[in-house]
Amino acid sequence: MSSPRGLFVGGNWKMNGTLDSSKKLIDHLIASKLDESTEIVVAPPFIHLLQVKDYLQASSHPNIKVSAQNAYHKSSGAFTGEVSVDQLVDAQVPWVIIGHSERRTLFGEADHNVAEKTKAALEAGLSVILCIGETLEQREKDETVSVVTRQLNAVEQEVKDWSKIVVAYEPVWAIGTGKVATSQQAQEVHSEIRKWAASKLGQSVANKLRIIYGGSVAAKNCKELSTQADIDGFLVGGASLKPEFVDIVNARL
Ligand SMILES: O=C(CO)COP(=O)(O)O
């Protein structure tokens, strides 16, 4: 039984591409037949974000929105190299990814940073793709549920309204490794996340909360993952840079 919520598919382009290749990716996407019930969000690097947004707007493709891959929680000031949540709103970028494991591991973002960024993004009016997930070591020590619960609790302390949050469960060991979680492994954790949401935020919020999976999602594994009751879509890295992204958008067709 697949999830009753509509499919949400995000493409996290990470630090890849050129102005030209970004345009080509969008060209391919808008020329393809896409499941109209899938909500699609693409997250180009900051340097390409506005070009991609303008290009999508010119194509008047209503189902594809843009996202930033990160943002800073202060509105303005002496924060060299950062882009604020308010600047994203000003530039009409509707989504932001927060707490990606690469930000957590490579750039030292702790749970409290992720929480304050999520709070600021929502207060500014953005929608948030909130990333959580355990490392291989944590999974082997059977700590998966306690790690994701800790990550969610940190945000819940700051944020009470979760209606504009999509939770992306991305096990770190599955990111960029080709080692996808089995649909059963992913479903187990997604179901725990929904139980967490029911207990902290209430059953009706939990029923509506979109919980998407990320980590080596590809055309060949997305269909089975998308049949699971608590998997509402995907956050795609590598495959979002390839034509197969279209197959992932169409996973439920
Ligand atoms: O990190 C990811 C998406 O945010 C997943 O990356 P891959 O799909 O390349 O494993």
Q: Write the pLDDT tens digit of every residue in 80-135.
A: 999 999 999 999 999 999 999 999 999 999 999 999 999 999 999 999 999 999 99
Query: What count of other Cβ atoms lies within 10 Å of the Cβ of residue 227?
Result: 15
Is 112 an annotated catalytic residue? no
Query: What's the pLDDT score for residue 97?
Result: 99
* 193 three-state secondary structure: helix
Q: Is the pLDDT of residue 8 over 80?
A: yes
What's the rounded mean pLDDT across residues 142-159?
98
Give CA–CA dist 14/220, Å, rounded.
22
Prediction pTM value: 0.98
Is 100 an annotated catalytic residue? yes
Classify domain 8-249 at the CATH class level: alpha beta
CB–CB of 29/64 below 8 Å? Answer: yes
Query: What's the pLDDT score for residue 2?
Result: 83
Which entry of 102, 134, 170, 192 is annotated as an active-site residue? 170
Q: What is the ipTM of this complex?
A: 0.99
* 223 three-state secondary structure: helix
Query: What's the pLDDT score for residue 62?
Result: 72
pLDDT tens profile 24-51: 999 999 999 999 999 999 999 999 999 9
Provide CB contacts within 8 A for 85, sequence distance 6+: 71, 72, 73, 75, 96, 117, 120, 121, 123, 124, 126
For the chain, the domains span 8-249
What's the rounded mean pLDDT across residues 133-159?
98
- Cα–ligand 1 centroid distance for 176 (angstroms): 6
Give CA–CA dist 202/64, Å, rounded.
30
Provide CB contacts within 8 A for 176, sequence distance 6+: 216, 237, 238
Give CA–CA dist 83/247, Å, rounded.
32
The amino acid at residue 241 is: L
Q: What is the largest CA-CA distance in the chain?
A: 51
User: Ligand 1: which of 179, 217, 220, 248 to mutate, most ligand atoms within 8 Å of CB?
Assistant: 217
pLDDT tens profile 187-237: 999 999 999 999 999 999 999 999 999 999 999 999 999 999 999 999 999
Q: Is the pLDDT of residue 1 over 80?
A: no
Give CA–CA dist 193/57, Å, rounded.
34
What's the rounded mean pLDDT across residues 164-171?
98
Going by C-alpha positions, the residue among 86, 115, 85, 83 that lies closest to residue 99 is: 115
- Cα–ligand 1 centroid distance for 13 (angstroms): 9
- 154 pLDDT band, cuts 50/70/90, is very high
Going by C-alpha positions, the residue among 127, 105, 114, 113 that lies closest to residue 43 is: 127
Query: What's the pLDDT score for residue 61?
Result: 77
Instruction: Tell which atom from ligand 1 comes closest to the C-alpha of 102.
Output: 1
Averaged pLDDT of the chain: 97
Ligand 1 site residues, Cβ closer than 6 angstroms? 12, 100, 170, 175-176, 214-217, 235-239
Q: Is the pLDDT of residue 60 over 90?
A: no
